[in-house]
Structures are given as structure tokens and as C-alpha cells.
Amino acid sequence: MISVTSTARNDIPSLTSINVINWLASFATIIPFVIIPLYARSLGATLFQASIIIGTLFGVTSVTSVIMGALSDIIGKRKPFIIMSMAGSAAVFLMIPFIGAPLPLLLLMAVLGFISAGFQPVVMGLVSEISTKAEKGKNLGLLNTTTSIGWALGSLLSGSIADLFNFAVAFYIGCVLAVLAVVLTIFSLRETKSGGDLERNFGKIVVALKNRFLPRSGESSYLKEKGLKWFYITAFLRYSAYWGSFALLTIFFATLVSKTWIGILLMINMGLQGFLMTPIGALSDKYTGRKPIILFGLVGTSVVLSLYAFSYSLYLLIIAQTLNAFVFACIYTGGSAFVADISPPLKQNEAMGYLNSSITFGAVTGTIIAGIMATIFGLRTMFLVLAILPIIGAVIVLLKVSETITTT
């Protein structure tokens, strides 16, 4: 059995095991984002209902992950949360093919969002605990890379399998992968922390959640520096557009290409993202600074959404997805670095929490806007309406946000 313990050196065997588990989990959990909108439509869901179904999955996952991460820290256990997340996901995947209407599917997506939320923050905590300070960033970067690879392959295969067989087979494969992640977790990982006292420390969870979503009076002056609070508004606008469009993107793709090509198109975007984030981060460190990278990501997002609106061929979709990978890597990497530059050393988690909250609330808002626009005006008009939001964000950045670093 592999022992996961904090040492002065990187625990290479444990890191390998964690990355394999993360790859399996990412492979399995991307399937709902690829298949569920199409499956919902096959059950008779309207465009608005399909958007709300996928928005529910994302929204519940994002909010609940905060609670699960806090519980894991305070209870002092990692392994049970990983097992619960993957075992629960496997059970939901097994149930989805037996759902026969949109409303039960929405409820099941809420359950899946709640159950699966414990995985990502806990795995990131594990990697952090078994890594040296000097290589923590590198190891977390590798974890993100395995996530991107899992998403890319999961997107490709889920579309192909749904095309060759049916939706049910894709969900069953997701179930098998999740079970494999559970087995590997049980037999290859030990705890890194001793058990905590949940009852005694319950108040800490409440405080952590309050600080995660609400600024503390008198302690948030850094939000005014370099226009950080304006950047959070920009992030809200950008991710409203991004996740709103993503909720119905596979349905739009299905009007032009096969399910196999839907998987390939999503793979192009998700696969490239993981490989682009590190070099784009280095570019913003040494040459461009944060602001130009962020602006490129915002304007590029609007261009991508406009390309979707005017795409009538596979070739334009490939171009749009390739550009989408670049702009996502720019806004995500540049934005995260911008926040990290400004936030005080003891408040980095708090500052990143505000960013994640902006993304979460943007995603929920975006799916609602997308559903309404698509229902009233159609998918192509929906993309054009959503394309306005990142342009507004770019104007805010130009007028209100300042550069944080001096480049060569």
C-alpha cells in the first residue's frame, strides 16, 4: 500500500497515484457536461430546461465544494471524501439511463453536484500536503494537466460512444471509471491528517464559509488596490458568457455535426487549455504583464461567441474551439495571477475565494440568461447576446484595472 505522508521530499509514488485517480475522476465526471444537454433534449426538455439542468449541476458543485473542503480540513480526513464523491458519482451514472423526464434529471444533477463536490478540493489538498514548498506549484500544475487530459479524452470518447451505441453506454463507462477511482483510492492512499473534532470546530466551518463569500468589515482594503474589485465584476461577466454558452453548446454542435465530432470539438478546447496555461503564465510573468493577457482573454471570448453565431461548417467550429482554448487559458491564468499579485500573503485563499465566487455566480446567472435567450430568439442570437458581456468586462479592465507587475 502506498503511504501518503508529509515529508521533506516529494512523495513521488503517492503523487503518481493521486494523478492517476484524478485522471480517472476527470475522465468520468466530464461525461455529464458533454452528454446531459443532449440527453435532456432527447427526454423532451426545452432549451431553457436543458440550460437549467446543466447549470444546476455546475452551481451545486461549485457551492458545495467549499463546504466539503472545509469539512475535510476540520474533520482531518481526505480519503472518505474522495471515496464518497466517486462512489456517489458512479451510483448516479448508473441511475441516469433510467430517468424518463427532464425534472427527475434536474434533481439527479443536483444530487450529482452535491456528491461529486468533495473530490477536487480534497485532492488539491492532498497534493499540497505531500509536496515540498519549492515544488508545490509544479505538482499542482501537473494535477491540472491530468485533469485537462481526462476532460479531453472523456469528451472525445463520450461523444463517440454515444454516436456508436447510445447515451446509456457512455454513462455506464463513466460509472466504471468512477468505480476504478474508488478502488485505487482504497488500496493506494492513506490519510495525511489525523482525525479532527467536528463538533468542537463546527464554528470554524461557518466562519470559513462566511469569509469565502462575504468580505469582512475592515479587512478587505486590498480589494481596492489596482482595481481588484472591478476585476471580480469582470470575471462575473466573462464567466456568465462562457458557462451560459457552454450549457447549450453541445446542443448547438448537434445541429451541425455528429456526436463523435462534438466530442472531438470539446477535446480540442479542453485538451489545449491544460497545455497552454503554463506558458501563458510565464509570458505574463516576464513579458506582457497581466492586463494585456486578461484583455486578450475577454475580447477573444467575444470573438469566439460571435464565431459560434456565424458558424455553419465544421471548419469554423474547429477554429472557434482552438481560439477558445487560448482565450480561456489567458483569462484563467492571467486573472488568477492578477488576484495573487494583489492579495496579502495571509489572505490569498480569501482573495481566490472571491474569484471563485464570481465565477460560480456568473455560471448560474449565465445559464439562466442563455436559456431565456435561446428559447425566445434561438441559439445563434443567444451567442451574440452573451458576446456583449465580455466586451463590457474589457471596458471595465481598460478603465478601472491597473497592471500589477513590471515586465522586461
Query: How confident is the prediction along the chain (408 residues), in pLDDT tens digits per residue?
Result: 434 444 445 555 678 888 899 999 988 888 877 889 999 999 999 999 999 998 888 888 877 776 777 677 667 678 888 999 999 999 999 999 999 999 999 999 999 988 887 787 788 777 767 777 666 656 776 777 788 888 888 888 888 888 888 889 999 999 999 999 999 998 887 666 544 554 545 666 666 556 555 555 544 577 788 888 899 999 999 999 999 999 899 999 999 999 899 999 999 998 888 788 778 888 887 888 889 999 999 999 999 999 999 999 999 999 999 999 999 888 888 888 888 788 776 566 567 667 777 888 888 899 999 999 999 999 999 999 999 999 999 999 999 988 887 765
Domain with CATH 1.20.1250.20 in the chain: 1-213, 215-408
Closest Cα partner for 59 from 308, 357, 369, 336? 357
- Per-residue pLDDT at 68: 77
The Cβ of residue 188 has, within 10 Å, a number of other Cβ atoms equal to: 18
Q: Contact at 8 Å (CB) between 29 and 116? A: yes
Compute, in degrees rounded to 10, the torsion defined by CA atoms 178, 179, 181, 182.
Answer: 120
- Per-residue pLDDT at 12: 59
Q: Give the span between the Cα atoms of 142 and 33, in whole angstroms.
A: 23
CA atoms within 13 A on the CB side of 74: 19
CA atoms within 13 A on the CB side of 145: 12
- Per-residue pLDDT at 303: 97
Q: Give the span between the Cα atoms of 344 and 158, in whole angstroms.
A: 43
CATH architecture, domain 1-213: Up-down Bundle (1.20)
> Hey, which CATH number is domain 215-408, 3.30.56.10, 3.40.50.1980, 1.10.540.10, 1.20.1250.20?
1.20.1250.20
Q: Give the span between the Cα atoms of 122 and 59, in whole angstroms.
A: 18
Burial of 197 (0-12, 13-18, 19+ CB in 10 A): exposed
- Per-residue pLDDT at 2: 39
- Per-residue pLDDT at 137: 58
* SS3 per residue for the chain: CCCCCCCCCCCHHHHHHHHHHHHHHHHHHHHHHHHHHHHHHHCCCCHHHHHHHHHHHHHHHHHHHHHHHHHHHHHCCCHHHHHHHHHHHHHHHHHHHHCCCHHHHHHHHHHHHHHHCCHHHHHHHHHHHCCCHHHHHHHHHHHHHHHHHHHHHHHHHHHHHHHHCCHHHHHHHHHHHHHHHHHHHHHHCCCCCCCCCCCCCHHHHHHHHHHHHCCCCCCCHHHHHHHHHHHHHHHHHHHHHHHHHHHHHHHHHHCCCCHHHHHHHHHHHHHHHHHHHHHHHHHHHHHHCHHHHHHHHHHHHHHHHHHHHCCCCHHHHHHHHHHHHHHHHHHHHHHHHHHHHHCCHHHHHHHHHHHHHHHHHHHHHHHHHHHHHHHHHCHHHHHHHHHHHHHHHHHHHHHHCCCCCCCC
- Per-residue pLDDT at 346: 58
